[in-house]
């Protein structure tokens, strides 16, 4: 094969790669535009959805802050369908909802489930809607441990732990909890539970003692929660959107605005993928020791 043909083939391949890359960038830009969905130019209602276990607060916080800065967004509806999750992310979302509610009306719409951490993030909203049959409340904290000492013994597996303090391996699956371990973990969840109770009392403007009476982990229907002042009104998502428009002073049916998706960056995706795998290892290690304190 002549040199000229080789150069033509190589050049054609290179050009094809360039065109493929350019096409990918165009598609990514169309899919992940900075513009709000719906291209609404007038006043509207922001809509944020929190679904599933709450393990990361990054995306809800990004959307809450985005709407806080948008003058065209006159109120925000926070749709929650979550059984709860990890304490830290739930508290972070709660704080951002509280900040936004101080600037704009925030109306929560509970789906089938908004319990524990799912209720926690709803508490500081301006108005909370729930369906009559929504499962909610579950104000409580737990931490789980697995003792695999007997199983390890049957398998002929033994372990040795070298530690710097008596509590460093507390909750490890290869030994039972000591009375001191149990007291330490009980103090931990008691402290976290009290934070939950105070957050609900502050968000709902209820006496702390009144919240504490029902903060025993019990689940409630939306109807029951309304009777206990944990929920303001019974209704669905359209009802919550209509309420948001009314409170924002928007005449007629309000336009719905959704926050733009996060921009896609190839190198960030690689970094986040590696970070996600690393965090997954850390989370598995924490769960192995029973150190995941959760609102669930």
Dihedral in degrees, nearest 10, Cα atoms 20, 21, 24, 25: -150
Residues 6+ apart with CB under 8 A from 288: 173
239 vs 212: CA distance, rounded Å: 30
Q: What is the DSSP pairing of strand 85-86 with strand 127-130?
A: unpaired
CA distance 276 to 247: 40
Per the CB < 8 A criterion, the answer to whether 280 and 292 are in contact is: no
Q: Is 69 a catalytic residue?
A: no
Closest CA to 80 of 128, 118, 106: 118
* Residue of 57, 82, 109, 116 marked catalytic: 116
- Nearest one of 99, 81, 52 to 203, comparing CA atoms: 99
- Angle 87-101/179-204 helices, nearest 10 degrees? 20
Residue 116 is among the residues annotated as catalytic for this protein: yes
Q: Which of 51, 144, 168, 263 is catalytic?
A: 168
Sign of CA dihedral 261, 263, 264, 269: negative
Catalytic residues: 116, 168
């Amino acid at each position: 094969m002549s040199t000229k043909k080789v150069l033509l083939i190589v050049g054609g391949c290179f050009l094809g790669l360039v065109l493929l890359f350019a096409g990918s960038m165009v598609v990514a830009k169309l899919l992940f535009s900075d513009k709000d969905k719906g291209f609404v130019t007038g006043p509207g209602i922001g809509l944020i959805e929190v679904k599933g276990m709450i393990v990361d607060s990054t995306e809800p916080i990004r959307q809450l802050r985005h709407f806080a800065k948008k003058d065209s967004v006159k109120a925000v509806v926070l749709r929650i369908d979550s059984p709860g999750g990890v304490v830290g992310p739930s508290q972070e979302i709660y704080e951002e909802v509280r900040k936004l509610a101080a600037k704009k009306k925030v109306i929560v719409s509970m789906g089938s489930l908004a319990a524990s951490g799912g209720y926690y993030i709803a508490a500081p909203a301006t108005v909370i809607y729930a369906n009559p049959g929504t499962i909610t409340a579950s104000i409580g904290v737990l931490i789980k441990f697995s003792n695999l000492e007997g199983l390890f013994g049957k398998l002929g597996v033994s372990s040795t732990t070298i530690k710097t303090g008596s509590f460093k391996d507390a909750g490890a699956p290869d030994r039972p909890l000591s009375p001191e371990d149990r007291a330490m973990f009980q103090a931990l969840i008691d402290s976290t539970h009290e934070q939950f109770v105070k957050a609900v009392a502050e968000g709902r403007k209820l006496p702390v003692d009144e919240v504490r009476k029902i903060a025993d982990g019990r689940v409630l229907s939306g109807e029951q929660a309304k009777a206990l002042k944990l929920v303001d009104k019974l209704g669905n998502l359209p009802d919550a959107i209509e309420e948001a428009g009314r409170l924002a002073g928007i005449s007629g049916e309000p336009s719905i605005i959704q926050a733009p998706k996060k921009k896609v960056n190839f190198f960030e995706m690689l970094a986040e993928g590696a970070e996600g795998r690393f965090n997954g290892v850390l989370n598995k290690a924490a769960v192995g020791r029973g150190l995941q304190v959760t609102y669930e």
